[in-house]
Structure 1
Amino acid sequence: MNKEMDDVALRPTGHMERFNILRNHVRFYNKFGVTATYTAPRALLASNSLEQVVYAALREVLNHHPIMGVTVQDEATVEPKWIRLPTIDFRRVVEVVNADLEASYDSWVTDALRAPFVVVDDLPMWRVVVGKGQDVETFAVGFFCHHAIADGVSAGAFQLTFLDALNGLIDGKTEIISNIEEEEVVSVPKLPLVPNMEMKTALPVGIFFALKKIISTYVWSTEDPLNWSGSPISAEAPRPPIGNLKTFSLSLDVVSGLLKRCRKENTSMTALLTILVARKLAVMYSSYTHFTSNIPFSLRKFTGHSNRDMGCYVSNLTPCFSSDERPPWGYISCRSTSGDKPEQDDEKLWEGARASKKQIEEGTATTSNQNVGLLKFVSDYNKFFYGMFGKKREHAFEVTNIGVLDGGVGGEQKASFDRVQFATAQCTYGDPYIFSIASAKNGIMTVSLSWATGMLNDNEAVEMIEWLEGALKGLSEA
């Protein structure tokens, strides 16, 4: 690395990054994470402690993701700045916990998501929690981070890079330092940051689209009395909200059956999950008939970033559902043929799934008139966030699917992972039900539901997630 690189200033923060920096600063949000379950050759861990292996792998990961070596300066201002850390002390950002790797990870993942995340000038904007099981060959690694440095796909990219680093240790391409004290504090590579989203795409916004959004946000907005979105946004609730988590896993056979059925019905897994949740909500909250979803999606195909780049490159779309016998124009029917069985395997279900897929494809086909493109018009984030108090939430539920991560095939001389869990903390203005989906290639798919204490009754959340698990398993057998 030449001397000139040492002196190069880091690029400015982008609009999406500033949004997430200020959102955390006002304590509306905490963090999210992706956890993977690794199997490594016994020889790797027989001669080295788990901490040594994790530290050595993280040292290599830092060479591939420059954003992991920064923190924020002037966090509370309209133009916060990235600053590169000189060093990272792994002892302060890595925690090892005892875990039953055959059981649910929800308890310790929830603890990680709830742990306060205060930006300080000598720590990076991420944390790692290692779940240590009884079998020395198997362990879980959870990567939890500030949303300004990464999106869900990026957290998956961390796991892919960590896997590569483990295999580099096994192959001898990367060295494990025998004295762990020398491995605990590492210098941060002086690398330029990957360009932010706005540096790679213009995100054009039409005047009518912008005016509609600005007026509804700041001037005047009508509330649909038939639309359910949970309790209003409260200034009295804890900030960030107290999040809860419940997860289920689907085996490779079940996932294969669902994918086969989705292909037959010309729809997708995300679309199927979305219509199923909408149909269940229509039964659970039957005095309402309108339910708006929130589907975040990646803009990487437009920005040129790969799935291995770490940053925040997302927008969202909001399909609307109706259980009315005759849904309003633009709404997708979530009316069940049998009112008490929204999982009924009938043509109406698959019509809704196809309609959901169509809206997802249309909403992700261009960078024009994306919601994220409106951030350029926000001049006062404090006013933007605090102005939400007392208002109705925009959506009933969120479905985020980060797709399939290739954890390799393992073997005697290779590390691999076959289980991935994606989960998020709740947001002050967030949706009552937030579903996060991730899959391991040739492994299992996990579906996590997060909800906030006081926003939902725990019994409601449990009813929803247990029903969804049964519905998906039933449809996979059809």
Structure 2
Amino acid sequence: MATTKQFLRYASPNEQRTISREDAGYYFAVIVGAVYQLSDGIATNVPESFFDPLRYCLEKHTWLNVTVGDKHTDKAFYERVPRVDLASHVDIVRDVKAGENDSAAIEELLRQNLDRPFPPGIPPWRIVVLPLGPAQCFIAFAYSHMICDGPSGQAFHRTFLEGLRNASETTISVGSIVETIERPLPEPFDTPSRLPISWSFLLAPLIATFLPRFLVNLLGLKAQASTTDEGTWLGSRIFFDPKTSRSKIRLREIEAPLLDNAIRVARKHDAKLTGALQQLITRALSRALPDPSITNFVTQTAVNMRNSVGTPRDEMGEFASGCYVVHLRDESSGPFSEASWEAARQATRKLAECAATLQDQAIGLLRYLPSIRKWTRGKIGQRRDCSIEISNIGVFDSNPDSGPPPRITKVVFTQPGHVTGPPLAFNFASVKGGGLVYTVTWQAGALGISGDEERFVDEVCSSLEADFKQLE
């Protein structure tokens, strides 16, 4: 029986980026949660009820068995722990406030866990269970971005649901200790062979730093992955105080009929939902920010690159890249104009191109940084590089077509407010046949506005949802 951790491999540059960010205290838990309808025999207030499906997840996903070593350096590495004590990875929320509805209780659970550090020495993940009623609960899978990206959370719940189906309805595991399987980690996504960088793409940021702006624009060069100017809304400059920094969150939902209509209408206009969402969000922000000096917004949309390298959708790990799109200020309301649909089409095409292109991906440039750790910490005081992040982990479609529980009725996706990233993040997820659940997260103080930030975000969300109802 092994008693020591086993070295697996060093972190790739993009993995090192997430490690250095967490080590600095800037970013902790990604959370993908789901509302489960369970069999009557499962006690949702007992941690042992979830040990069997968790064992199944640990057998399927190597990343759940690893820790990160030397996080404080530029040579962090992954190592396998010989065993996992599931009791250290399951929390039960036992006290829902009287009169609190399910949505408010879920939002509070998410808020409490976004900035909650993971204990040292054990794999950086946990499930937090919120009983919602007889045979129903919300299970939040909270995990470190050091080991997995957003879609990995969907993969976890597909595996966990399968584990629930395989387990006896009334069996409770005898013990909490799982002996881990000795196997290698998959190859990182951002290797030089997978993400080649041309000389022109490599040198453009350096050249753009020294040339006058008019020449940079004339030559089409960029000093960074996104394209911002003095009119771009970027919120506050980057700041961080470990004593006061905290994430703020809003949880909202677009009802299923409105979502179905939006998908149908977008398809009619040769666009996809995420392209339309970019327009809806930037229109809502344009109306909420009356400052005429704000002339544009830059969206950063997370792109799942698994298909581009032939990786199965349920393989956990870091397979995300980013696609930047500039949106001109648009204060209009009501149905989209043809110009708005054209912008949605262009965004859709750009996202598809990014998802299929491995040459000159911006994250490939990280390998040329002498110190990712210093680069990460050196962002304090700088301007942000975009206005909004949009992350859509897609549709959960693994429920059985018929038959008894267990099944998943709702999926929620969220992440901490960005310290070094955009001031606002919109995070979307859905279940086949259900509504579009989304969270908005931000670092308190990052919006750079006078007045109440939560009221501002509520206004943006209400405006966004009003426009959803008028898509045609």
The 5 A counterparts of 1:401-420 are 401-409=392-400, 413-420=404-411
Instruction: Report the alpha carbon displacement of residue 199 of structure 1 after superposing the two structures with TM.
Output: 5.2
Match of residue 34 from structure 2 = 36
* Structure 1: stretches of 5+ with no match in the other structure: 324-334
CA 1:219–1:314 in 2, change beyond 3 Å: closer, same or farther? farther
The 5 A counterparts of 1:89-238 are 89-98=85-94, 99=96, 102-104=102-104, 105-117=106-118, 120-121=120-121, 123-135=122-134, 137-170=135-168, 176-177=172-173, 179=174, 182=175, 184-198=176-190, 201-214=193-206, 224-235=229-240, 237-238=241-242
Match of residue 363 from structure 1 = 354
Determine if the alignment matches structure 1 residue 56 to structure 2 residue 52: yes
Match of residue 300 from structure 2 = 294
Determine if the alignment matches structure 1 residue 322 to structure 2 residue 322: no
User: More displaced, 251-260 or 429-438?
Assistant: 251-260
Instruction: Report the alpha carbon displacement of residue 386 of structure 1 after superposing the two structures with TM.
Output: 2.3
SS in 2 for 1:287: coil
SS in 1 for 2:230: coil
Separation in structure 2 between the aligned mates of residue 7 and residue 112 of structure 1, nearest angstrom = 27
Instruction: Report the alpha carbon displacement of residue 474 of structure 1 after superposing the two structures with TM.
Output: 3.2
Separation in structure 1 between the aligned mates of residue 208 and residue 378 of structure 2, nearest angstrom = 12
Instruction: Report the alpha carbon displacement of residue 423 of structure 1 after superposing the two structures with TM.
Output: 0.3
User: More displaced, 394-403 or 195-204?
Assistant: 195-204
SS in 2 for 1:308: coil
CA contact 2:366–2:372 (8 Å) conserved in 1: no
Match of residue 331 from structure 1 = none
User: More displaced, 395-404 or 410-419?
Assistant: 410-419
CA contact 2:9–2:79 (8 Å) conserved in 1: no
The 5 A counterparts of 1:434-473 are 434-456=425-447, 457-473=453-469
Amino acid at match of 1:227: T
The 5 A counterparts of 1:392-407 are 392-407=383-398
CA contact 1:27–1:239 (8 Å) conserved in 2: no
Separation in structure 1 between the aligned mates of residue 250 and residue 231 of structure 2, nearest angstrom = 28
Instruction: Report the alpha carbon displacement of residue 153 of structure 1 after superposing the two structures with TM.
Output: 0.7
Instruction: Report the alpha carbon displacement of residue 134 of structure 1 after superposing the two structures with TM.
Output: 2.4
CA contact 1:201–1:303 (8 Å) conserved in 2: no
The 5 A counterparts of 1:344-363 are 344-363=335-354
Alignment deviations for residues 349-368 of structure 1 (CA, whole Å, 9 cap, x no partner): 21221122122223223111
Alignment deviations for residues 366-401 of structure 1 (CA, whole Å, 9 cap, x no partner): 111111111111121232012212211111101111
CA contact 2:125–2:144 (8 Å) conserved in 1: yes
Correspondence for 1:308 among 289, 308, 314: 314
Q: TM-score, normalised by structure 1?
A: 0.86
Correspondence for 2:421 among 422, 427, 430: 430
CA contact 1:169–1:176 (8 Å) conserved in 2: no
Q: TM-score, normalised by structure 2?
A: 0.88
Separation in structure 2 between the aligned mates of residue 423 and residue 217 of structure 1, nearest angstrom = 35
CA 1:7–1:468 in 2, change beyond 3 Å: closer, same or farther? closer
Correspondence for 1:391 among 379, 382, 391: 382
CA 1:217–1:11 in 2, change beyond 3 Å: closer, same or farther? farther
Separation in structure 2 between the aligned mates of residue 96 and residue 16 of structure 1, nearest angstrom = 33
Separation in structure 2 between the aligned mates of residue 193 and residue 359 of structure 1, nearest angstrom = 32
Instruction: Report the alpha carbon displacement of residue 198 of structure 1 after superposing the two structures with TM.
Output: 3.3
Separation in structure 1 between the aligned mates of residue 172 and residue 193 of structure 2, nearest angstrom = 41
Instruction: Report the alpha carbon displacement of residue 156 of structure 1 after superposing the two structures with TM.
Output: 0.8
Separation in structure 1 between the aligned mates of residue 300 and residue 191 of structure 2, nearest angstrom = 25
Question: What is the aligned-residue identity percentage?
Answer: 26
Instruction: Report the alpha carbon displacement of residue 219 of structure 1 after superposing the two structures with TM.
Output: 10
Separation in structure 1 between the aligned mates of residue 48 and residue 159 of structure 2, nearest angstrom = 17
Separation in structure 2 between the aligned mates of residue 28 and residue 276 of structure 1, nearest angstrom = 29
User: More displaced, 242-251 or 417-426?
Assistant: 242-251
SS in 1 for 2:34: strand
CA contact 2:45–2:131 (8 Å) conserved in 1: no
User: More displaced, 7-16 or 356-365?
Assistant: 7-16
Match of residue 218 from structure 2 = none
Separation in structure 2 between the aligned mates of residue 32 and residue 73 of structure 1, nearest angstrom = 20
CA contact 2:73–2:373 (8 Å) conserved in 1: no
Determine if the alignment matches structure 1 residue 65 to structure 2 residue 61: yes
Alignment deviations for residues 301-323 of structure 1 (CA, whole Å, 9 cap, x no partner): 12221111010011101111223
How many residues align structurally?
Answer: 446
* Structure 2: stretches of 5+ with no match in the other structure: 213-222, 448-452
CA contact 2:47–2:91 (8 Å) conserved in 1: no
Instruction: Report the alpha carbon displacement of residue 239 of structure 1 after superposing the two structures with TM.
Output: 7.2
Separation in structure 2 between the aligned mates of residue 444 and residue 162 of structure 1, nearest angstrom = 22
